[in-house]
A and B are shown apart, each in its own frame.
Chain A
Amino acid sequence: MSELKPILNALRRSKVGAILLLLQIAITTAVVSNSAFIISEKMTYLNQATGFVEKDIFTFQMMHFGNDVNYMRQAELDESTLREIPGVIDAVIVNAVPLSGGGSSSTYRLQPTGQKSKGLNASIFEADSHFLNSVGVQLVEGRNFTDSEVVVSNDYAQYPTVGIITQALSEELFPDGDALGNTIYRGDNPVKIIGITDVMKGPWLKLDRRDWSVIVPFVMADKLTQFIVRTQPGERAQVMQQVEQHMLSSNRQRVVENIRGFEDLKAEYVSPDKLTMRMLMVMIVVLVLITALGIFGLTLFNINKRTKQIGTRRALGARKSDIVRYFLIENSVISTFGLVTGSVLAVLMAQQLMKHYSLAQLPLPFIITTAVSVLVISLLAVIGPAKRAANISPSIATRTI
């Protein structure tokens, strides 16, 4: 450590170079740690379990035209046609498709309107008893709808009064675990809870209500109908190809469109976030590279500038390892200051991001990991030039002076 003093003295003489390096390291640390945090948040979001075997399920829409259609009868017919296609496990008409970004939602409360009570905004799925089997989600408690509970109608006055809710919703509304058999209210309309499902994501992965859904045994077929179909593993592609033909064979006056696998629905919904994640990844890689290159270049220049001094030191008995050590220590000193500044900067930046963009708080491990990595990369960038400096012959010193 006896070298520290001369190193500091030397640094004091070429302040600007050192400060610039320090700044680079500081900004890099701040940007990389915050970006890494955003990336990890996005990854958690992108990789969240949906509760579906996405590869076996697909959805499609059908738009009818022609006046002479009884939508209700047609819907029943279509469902049974779909369920008979070889390879299909189950199929269902539904008002909203999970993961699609489109659907309906409403606030469910513990008491009817007029009485203050806890309420949550939940997604609503309206379908018959085939819904759970069609999306491949299990019940953890209670039972599925019976056929007599399913209402097939255009009349909201007949809206069902029973429902199945997701476990996440039951835990939020009934922390004591007594959801089953209890009743929740949408406005004044009661919904008696007869079943509770395992994890099942709703239409909006981004919103709070993603885990909170209510399934109601109501089928309302209209001009535009949406289907969910689950197939045997590996048979989906084939079924997806046939589905338009099967549907049009019973009635030509309609358009089948948006035949999409569940994983594609999810991919499309999350694609802006995936894009941000990718851009950030590219950016931090390039940023670290640029910083490393900068350190590398600057050390090379310093060595060139100090050729005579290095030669003199070598002539006076310094070993090669001493020269390498000199540059490593010099770099560590600058880096350490840079990393401390950078960590402070990272925290300040995270505060700004939290304030303006409702990001979560930057956890400390992200800063520490980034700081250590930047230090290692910075030292690696120095080793090459420092070894070259160590090879400067002592005779250089004698030759030019």
Chain B
Amino acid sequence: MFLHYVDLSWRSFKRTPMVSALMVFAIAIGIGVTMTSLSIYHMMTKDPIPNKSERLHHVQLQTMDDGEGYWSKDDVPFQVTYQDAINLQNGNFPYLRSAMYKAGFSVHLNSAQFKPFVQEVRLSSKDIFQMFDLQFIYGGTWTQQQQDDIAPVVVISKSINERLFKGVNSVGQSFYLDDIYVQVVGVIEDWHTPVKYYDPNNGSFNDPENIFMPFTMGAAYEITTAGNTNGWKHEPDNTFKELLASENLWWQFWVQLENAQEKEEFGQYLMSYMQQQQTLGRFNREQLTYNLFNVMELMDYRGVVKHDNQIMVALSFMFLAVCIANILSILLAKFLRRAPEVGVRRALGASKRQVFYQHLVEVTLLGLLGGVLGIILAQLGLWGVRASHGAYDALASMDVTMLFAAPAIAMVACIIAGLYPAWIVCKTAPAIYLKSQ
């Protein structure tokens, strides 16, 4: 029966090709516009690390004295101080953790043939690779021993390995970061993430770093941050030593907590840590607070999705509504004109339900056609977006979810548009139309 309805739909389509094409076109345009903005929105909001986002937690401490303000919603600073980062990194708890920040270096081989280039380097603990699911191609992370001994070792990404060592297994090879002669201990796959959720402080859509080194190098080699430093206290911070001892905020801290209980325990740990710091004269405030957000909570908190994108999604759904109203009125006219034919079918024994069902099949097919055409239009739109704004390269694309969502939304839209016309036409009393013929 279903195939018969499909056949009937096709005949109906052929009988009024112009009008049908107009409807397909209308829904395709609607889907094209909606999917263009929705795809970008989807890429911005989707879970960047689905199998771990629940467990990875970002630590924020309210270090500022009472009366000081910050520009976050809850006045808690986005980053942590060097002291807190190091104390937590060395804290006595059994969870994977990493204090981190980024720095800028000239990468070179100290030879005239090789043209130096600038790279951002992430200073982190050895846990970062396991925590953030970074896959090793060669070698592995540095050891705890190397981390504690401030060994000049690095893990590099595949693309840096291509550039420096032509893609061969470079474990054991060395190169220069400024004047630091570093040795490669591991090569990882490039870190692809549409949203730089682990450090959105300099732009949520920046590219991840390609070189990683032990955070202990930071203090030893006086490596300054290439990210933001936020200060709130008037205190000496002209030398690197003073900076390390100051309340300046320039580190990030991540910890992996497996379940609610661990989160609870870690929260208690943070509270007692802050109380202990109070005895040392820091955290001069009545109420001690901290934020311990997982990945999705942090993305929401930091407002990764821009207002413009939210407005675009809302407007494009209104656009789709106009398209639906458009199709609805055309369908109504089209179906009513077919009432005599329906009258005959009803007289020959077709039930209301069958007539209703038949017409819904027809509009669903319209939706399917429009949805497929809409995907093509959306690809065109996304291409335009990428051409217009380079930073959205990774964002302006459709993943599998969106590819399936497009025809689904189109079909639902068409069914919404078709319900009323199909209902009207199936109510047709056969007698009237039989009489008039």
| Contact (Cβ within 8 A) B318 A27 | yes
Is A155 a contact of B238 with CB atoms below 8 Å?
yes
Q: B106 to A65, Cβ gap below 8 A?
A: yes
Report B177-208 CB contacts with A as 1/0, cut-off 8 Å.
Answer: 01100000000000000000000000000000
User: Of A17, A271, A276, which one neighbours B332 at CB under 8 angstroms?
Assistant: A17
The distance from the CB of A225 to the nearest CB of chain B, in whole angstroms, is 12
A103 to chain B minimum Cβ distance, whole angstroms, is 11
Q: Cβ of B153: which chain A residues have Cβ within 8 Å of it? A: none
Interface positions of B from 336 to 370, Cβ below 8 Å from A: 336-337
Q: Are A286 and B312 in contact (CB under 8 A)?
A: no
Per the bound structure, the CA–CA distance linking A280 and B385 in Å amounts to 12
The 8 A CB mask of A266-305 against B (1 = contact, 0 = none) is 0010011111101110110011001101100110011011
Count A-B contacts at CB 8 Å. 145
For residue A28, CB closer than 8 A to chain B, the reply is: yes
Q: Which residues of B contact A293 (CB under 8 A)?
A: 22, 26, 326
A291/B118 in contact, CB under 8 A = no
Q: Quick one: which of B105, B315, B326 contacts A290, CB cutoff 8 A?
A: B326
A42-76 near B? 1/0 per residue, CB < 8 Å: 00000000000000000000011111000000000
Residue in A closest to B30 when the chains form the complex, CB atoms: A290
* B106 in complex: contacting residue of A63, A278, A280, CB < 8 Å: A63
A188 nearest CB neighbor, chain B only: B234
> Are A294 and B326 in contact (CB-based, < 8 A)?
yes
Is A275 a contact partner of B392 (Cβ separation < 8 A)? yes
Partner of B104, one of A30, A63, A275, A356: A63
B320-339 CB contacts (< 8 Å) to partner A: 321-323, 325-326, 328-330, 332-334, 336-337
Q: How many residues of A contact B (CB 8 A)?
A: 58
For A159, the closest partner residue in chain B by CB is B238
Q: Is B389 an interface residue (CB 8 A)?
A: yes
Give bound CA distance, A383 to B250, whole Å. 66
Q: Which residues from chain B contact A257 at a C-beta distance below 8 Å?
A: 117-118
| Interface pair B315/A280, CB less than 8 Å apart | yes
For residue B266, CB closer than 8 A to chain A, the reply is: no
How many interface residues does B have (CB within 8 Å)?
Answer: 53
> What are the residues of chain A within 8 A of B333 when measuring CB–CB?
17, 298, 301-302, 305
Q: Find the residue from A17, A255, A353 having the highest chain B CB count within 10 A.
A: A255
Q: A63-B118, A279-B36 are in contact. Are A272 and B308 (CB under 8 A)?
A: yes
A224: nearest residue on chain B (CB-CB)?
B104
A17/B37 in contact, CB under 8 A: no
Confirm or deny: B87 has a beta carbon within 8 angstroms of a beta carbon on chain A: no
Least CB separation from B315: chain A residue:
A31
Q: Are B234 and A113 in contact (CB under 8 A)?
A: yes
- A21: chain B residues within 8 A (beta carbon): 329
Interface status of B15 (Cβ within 8 A of chain A): no
B316 close to A283 (CB less than 8 A): yes
Q: Determine how close the nearest CB of chain B comes to the CB of A388; give it in whole angstroms.
A: 14
Please tell me which one of the listed residues B29, B112, B307, B323 contacts residue A357 in the complex, with CB atoms under 8 A apart.
B307
CA distance A273 to B381 in the complex (A): 16
Tell me the minimal C-beta distance from A12 to chain B in angstroms: 16
Task: Give the most central of A113, A282, A294, A305: most B CB within 10 Å.
Answer: A294
B319 contacts A278, C-beta separation under 8 Å: no
Would B420 and A290 count as touching, CB distance under 8 A?
no
Q: A65-B179, A255-B117, A272-B391 are in contact. Are A27 and B321 (CB under 8 A)?
A: yes
Query: Does B306 belong to the interface (CB within 8 Å)?
Result: yes
**Given A27-B318, A305-B337, 4 more pairs with CB closer than 8 A:** A65-B105, A268-B390, A274-B389, A282-B33
A-B residue pairs in contact (CB < 8 Å), sample of 8:
A35-B315, A156-B238, A271-B390, A280-B315, A297-B330, A298-B333, A304-B337, A353-B311
